[in-house]
Structure 1
Amino acid sequence: MRPDLQARPAALRFAIAAVLVALVVGSWLGLRHGVVIPTFGRTPAGDVLSIVAPALLTMIAAPLVGYRRRDALLWVIPPLGLALAARLAWRIALLPRRDWVDRSAG
């Protein structure tokens, strides 16, 4: 952690995290209701296809904040995927100052 960097105010960090979570949830619901349900209906295949967009966004963001890409598989159970998205967004909102352990160091 670099001591010369100032942490963002909590309100700004919350606003950034909220926008990021809204982006992920919007991609999930938009893909589900705009493409998957009209095309496949409410089928298991449609359920799996609807998590592709948020899982890809999670795979991109996870290594930036100390998580593994495979954690995107939590989107198979959507409440867990939402919780992970919120956690990643909170950490992204703090970058470049980190308050978590860097997994790539060890």
Structure 2
Amino acid sequence: MDVNFSRLDEDHGNLLLDKGTNIMNVGKKGWIILDANSASTGYQWKLISDNSGTYKLVDNFYLPSYTGAVGTPEKSIWIIQAIRPGQGSILLVYKRSYSDEADGKQIIFKINIK
């Protein structure tokens, strides 16, 4: 399943999906939003670039839970920008920053830049 975001409002970018291939235009931004719990577990999402040169990382930040309580899930936000035509993939691995071992969670986002 291909997802074409070219007709949507792209002032802020579009949400990328981990199912199918995300179609983007050069210069446009894509957002990845993942559940996380780094404050209480030490686990964080780590982006591993595919070196395709089709995108660049623009920003990465966490949004805390609205409750503010310790141990509540937060959102990990990743913003990429399409910089040249081609196909690429974005691999995100959930792991502790001080360890090389992942907990088994990984997500791949496929992109096709036009």
User: TM-score, normalised on structure 1?
Assistant: 0.29
Structure richer in helix, relative to its length: 1
* Higher strand content, 1 or 2: 2
Structure having the higher Rg: 1
* TM-score of the pair, normalised by structure 2: 0.27
Q: Higher relative CO (CA 8 A, sep ≥ 6), structure 1 or 2?
A: 1
